[in-house]
Structure 1
Amino acid sequence: MILYLLQVALVSGLLTAWYYLALRNRRLHGYNRAYLLGSLALSLVLPAIPFHWTAPVFAGKQVFAGTLGRVVDLGRAANNAFPIVTIACWTAAAASGALLGLSVWRIVQVYRLKARAKAVKMPGYTLVETDDPRTPFSFFNNLFWQRDADRDDPVNRRILRHEIAHIRGRHSWDGLFAQLACCLCWMNPFFWIIRRELTVVHEFIADAATGMEGDTEGFARMLLQSLNQGRFLQPVQGFFQSPIKRRLIMLQNTRMSRRSTLRKTLVAPVLLAVVVLLSCSKTPGGHASDAANPDAAKLAKEQLDWKTRKLIGSSVMEEMKKRADAAAAAGMSQMEYKLMMERKLQETEKQMKQPGLSQ
C-alpha cells in the first residue's frame, strides 16, 4: 500500500508539472478539462498495473527501484519495532472517512436547501429560488437563485447563462470525482492542486459559453452583485468561487496559441515517461523492494546452499548417477532425462525438513 501511494504521488506529480509547464492558463479549456480528469484517473490506475519489462529501460532502473524499495523497507522495519505504519494507515483511513462524511453532509445540505425552497422546472434544469446568501450556484441539474434577483436584468441574465453552462457541461460530475479522489488520497498534495485547477477550468468554460470573452467590464459588474463567501469542500459550482484575476486575464486573452497542437501532442512522451518510471519501480515476480533488499537475497542464497548440502550429503546423488547411466543405456533423450531429474529433486525436497534459519 505504501509503495502504491508513492507511485500515485509520482504519477500525479509528473502530470501536474506538465500541466503547469505547458497547459495552464491556455485557451485549451476542453482539452485541459479532459487532461486534469485523466490525470486523476491515470494516477489511480497506472500504479496498479504490473508493468514488467524483460529488459531494463536504462541504467538507473535498479537505483530507482531500490530507492522506493528502501522507503518501504524502512517503514516495515519501523513497524516491526513499533506499529507506526499500522497506526498511520488507520489514521489516514479515519481522515479519509471524515472527509467523505463531510462531503456527503455538504451534499445533504444542498438538497435540504432545495427541499425548503421553491423549485420550478425549466427546460434542461430546475430553478430553485431561495434566500440563501451563497447563491447563485448550481449542482447537477439544480440552479440555486436568489429569490429577489431579477432574472430579466442584463447582468443577472449573464450570471444565469453562466450557471446553465455549468449544468449543461455536467461539471458537477467532474467535481464529485475530483472530490472523491482527494478524500481517498488526501495526503497527496497534487490531487488538491488538480481539483483546484479543474474548478478554474470549469469557470473558463462557463465564461466562454456565456459570451463574456473580451467583456471585462461586464464581468466586473457581475462581481459587484455579490461577495465571495468561500466554500471549503463544497461540491457545488458557484459563480464567485474561483480566482477572479485568472478569469479576468482569460477573458482578455482572445487569441488562440499557435502552438496549441504541439502542447497537446507532447503529452504522449510525458505519459511514456510516466510508464517508464513506473516500470522501473517494479520487478518481474515481486515487489520492488525484493530486488533491492540484500537481506532477502542473502536468505535465498542460504536456503539454496542448505538444499545443495543436503543433496550432496544424502544418497540422492548416487541414485541420480545410476539413473543417468540407465537412461543413457536406454537411449532416453536429453529432455526426458532432464524432466525425470527435476521430478526426483522435487520429491527429495518435499521429504526434507528444512531447519530454522537465523534472520
Structure 2
Amino acid sequence: MELTISYILKTVLLLLALYLFYYSLLRNQNSFSFNRLYLLLAPLVALVLPLLKWPVAFAPENAISVALQAIQLTEVTVTAYGTGKKAVSETSDISLATMAAVAYSVGILLVLAKLVKQLWQVQSVKAEAESATSLSDGIHLYQLPAHIPTFAFGSNIFLSKQSHLSKSDQDQVLEHELAHVKLRHTWDVLYYEILSAILWANPVVWLLKQELRDVHEYQADARVISTYKAQNYTSLLSKEALLNMGLPIGSYFQKPQVLKRLQMLQLSGQKPAWTRQLLVLPFILGLLFIFSVQQVDAQTGILAELTQEVSMLAGSKPLTEDNFTQETKPTTEQPEINAVAKTSIKPEPLKEEKVREAFPSSETANKPDTKATSGAAKPEKPFVYVEQMPSFKGGEIEMLKYLAKNIRYPKESQEAGTSGLVVLGFIVEKDGSLKDIQVIKSLDESTDAEARRVVESMNGSWEPGKQNGVPVQVRYTLPVRFQIK
C-alpha cells in the first residue's frame, strides 16, 4: 500500500513538473510538431520514470541501505489462517485500500462512459448527415444541419451550412479540417481521452489535454496560411470567434481558443527557439535522478531504525556515508518457498580496499591497542561483512525450507490477534556455531521465544565466514514476520 501511494505521488509531481516546464518555456513557441510530441509523451514519462532505477555508480544508495544489505538475511513470514482476530490497524488498512480502489474504479468508468457516449453521438451525426463527396486518401465529406459547427473526426469531415461565408472562406475552412485529418489529430484526442480516464484524479492530465488541443489548432492554422494569405485567414477567424462547440472529441474550426490562435498566427515565419527544446533532455534526466525509485525490501524502513542498534551490538561505531561506501547492483527476488520466504537482499562483494576501509581485517582486529593501558588487548569484534559470508549448510534455499518446516505461530499470539515483525541478531562463530542470539525488535513474549527457539535450533548448521582466507566471527540479523490472514 505504501509503495502504491509513493508511486502515485511521484507520478503526480512528475506530471506537474513536466507541465510547468511546457507552460513556461514551450507553450508560446511556434515549434508545433515538437510541442505535440512533448505533450503526447509527457504522461508516459511521468508513469515510467518512478519505475526506473538510477545507476548506482552515479547515485549511490544511502549508508543505511548499504548497511542493511550487508547484514540482513531473507525475511521469513509466518502466516496463520483461522478465526483469530486481526490487528485493528490491518483491518482498517485493508478496508481503506478497498474503498479507495472502488472509488477510483468508479471514476474511470464514468469518464470512459462519457467517451463512449461522445463516440456514439459522432456516429449518430454521421448517420443523419448527407454524404457530400469523397476526396483522395479515403477522406469523406458530410453536410451537417446548420446548428452543428464544422468538425473533423477520423477520416471524416463534417461541414456545417456556410451560407454566410464566401467561396474563398469556405475553402480555407475545408483546408483547416483537412489538416486535422491528414495530421491524424483524432488519434491524439482518443489517446488523451483514455489517459484522462485512467488518471482522472490528476488535474494536470486535463490541462495537458487542453494544451494538446490548442497545438492541434495551431498546426492546422499553419497548414492553411501556407496556401492562403495570412491576412485573409486571420479575418476569417475573427468572424468565427467565440462560437460554441458541438461534440468535444471533434476537431473544430470554431473554438474558444481562437484568440490564442490569432496570437500564434503572428509568429508565422519566425524561427522557434531551439535552445528551449534542447533543455528538455537535461530536464528529464534531472527528474530521473530526483524521482527514480530505489527498489529495496519492504522492511527497509523498519530496519533502518535498527541500524544503529545493530551496529552497537556488533561492537562497531554507527555506519554513515563518511565511513562506509559500497558499489552494488540491483538484486532479484527469491522464489517463495511454502509461502514463507519473501524478498531477499544480497550484497555484491565489496572491493578489497573498501572492505578494509569499512571493516578492519582479521589481523588488525586482533592487534593490541597501542593506546590502551599496558598489557590490555583489544577484544575481537564480529564483522558485519566479509569476503566470504557465512552460509547455512545447503545454501539459502535450504535455510528457508528449514525455517518453513520448523517455525510455528504461537497459539496465544494468534488468539490475541498479535501480528508484526520480530528481528533477531546473532553471531556466526569461526566454527559455524551460533552465539549471542538476541531479540533486537520484540513483538510479544510468545513470538519472541518462538523465533529465538528456531534460530537456536540452527546451531551447528552453518559454514563460517572468512576474511583473507581466515575464519572470522560475523554478525547477522534475521527478520521474522508473524501475520494473520
Kindly report which structure 2 residues correspond to 1:300-319, keeping only aligned pairs within 5 A, or say none.
302-304=423-425, 305-306=438-439, 309-310=452-453, 317=459, 319=460
Q: Indicate the percent of aligned positions where both proteins have the same amino acid.
A: 23
Distance 1:226 1:274 in 2: 40
SS at match of 2:243: coil
Match 2:233 to one of 218, 229, 238: 218
Unmatched 5+ residue regions in structure 1?
63-75, 325-332
- Rounded to whole Å, the distance in 2 between the matches of 1:60 and 1:36 is 35
Report the equivalent of 1:67: none
Q: CA deviation at 1:132?
A: 5.0
Query: How far apart are residue 4 of structure 1 and its match?
Result: 2.7
Partner of 1:283: 294
Equivalent residues of 1:223, 1:240 under 8 A apart: no
Could you report, residue by residue, the CA deviation over 1:293-331 in whole angstroms, capped at 9, with x for unpaired residues?
5698697662444499547855x54x469x88xxxxxxx
Which residue of structure 1 aligns with residue 117 of structure 2? 105
Instruction: Out of 106-115 and 297-306, give the one that drifted further.
Output: 297-306
CA contact (8 A) 1:156 1:222 kept: no
Task: Check whether the contact 2:424–2:452 (CA below 8 A) recurs between aligned residues.
Answer: no
**Residues 87-111 of structure 1: CA deviation (Å, up to 9, x unaligned):** 2221121011111111111011101
The answer as to whether partners of 1:139 and 1:167 remain within 8 angstroms in 2 is: yes
Pairing partner for 2:136 from 120, 123, 128:
123
- Secondary structure of the equivalent of 2:142? strand
Secondary structure of the residue aligned to 1:83 is helix
More strand by share: 2
Q: CA deviation at 1:20?
A: 1.2
- Find the residue that maps to 2:140 and give its secondary structure: strand
For residue 152 of structure 2, give the secondary structure of its aligned residue in structure 1: strand
Q: Find the counterpart in structure 2 of residue 87 from structure 1.
A: 99
Structure 2 equivalent of residue 268 of structure 1: 281
Instruction: Give the count of matched residue pairs.
Output: 315
Counterpart CA distance in 1 for 2:243 and 2:155 is: 22
Equivalent residue, structure 1, for 2:29: 26
1:80 maps to amino acid: S
CA distance in 2, matches of 1:176, 1:357: 45
C-alpha deviation, 1:2, in angstroms: 2.6
Deviations 1:165-186 (A, max 9, x none): 0000000001111111111101
The separation in 2 between residues aligned to 1:26 and 1:46, in whole angstroms, is 26
The amino acid of 2:252's aligned partner reads G
Distance 1:301 1:312, change over 3 A: closer
Aligned to 2:206: 192
Q: Is the 8 A contact 2:150 2:252 kept in 1?
A: yes
Distance 1:54 1:77, change over 3 A: farther
Decide whether aligned partners of structure 1 residues 42 and 249 sit closer, same or farther in structure 2, where only a CA change above 3 A counts. Answer: same
From the superposition, tell whether residues 154 and 43 of structure 1 become closer, same or farther in structure 2 (CA, over 3 Å). same
Deviation at 1:81, TM superposition (A): 6.1
- Deviation string 1:73-126 (CA, Å, 9 cap, x unpaired) is xxx969726833422221121011111111111011101111122223222310
> How high is the TM-score relative to the length of structure 2?
0.56
1:51 aligned counterpart, secondary structure:
coil
Aligned-partner Cα distance in 1 for 2:33–2:97:
41
What residue number does 1:73 align with?
A: none
- CA apart distance, 1:283: 2.4
Segment drifting more, 102-111 vs 36-45: 36-45
Matching residue of 2:191: 177
Q: CA deviation at 1:54?
A: 3.2
Return the TM-score normalized by structure 1: 0.74
Deviation of 1:55 after TM superposition, in Å, equals 5.9
CA distance in 2 between partners of 1:167 and 1:357 (Å): 58
Structure 1 residue 241, shift from structure 2 partner:
2.1
Change in CA separation of 1:274 and 1:36 when aligned onto 2, cut-off 3 Å: same
1:5 counterpart = 2:31: no
Q: Which residue of 2 aligns with 1:37?
A: 40
- Partner Cα separation in structure 1 for residue 158 and residue 204 of structure 2: 31
| Structure 1 residue 231: Cα displacement | 5.3
- Structure 1 position 207, deviation (Å): 0.4
Distance 2:454 2:90 in 1: 38
Structure 2, gaps ≥5 residues long:
65-87, 308-419, 426-437, 440-449
Amino acid paired to 1:284? Q
Q: SS of the counterpart of 1:302?
A: strand
For the pair 1:135 / 2:155, whether they are aligned, the reply is no
Q: 2:141, 2:159 within 8 Å by CA — same for their partners in 1?
A: yes
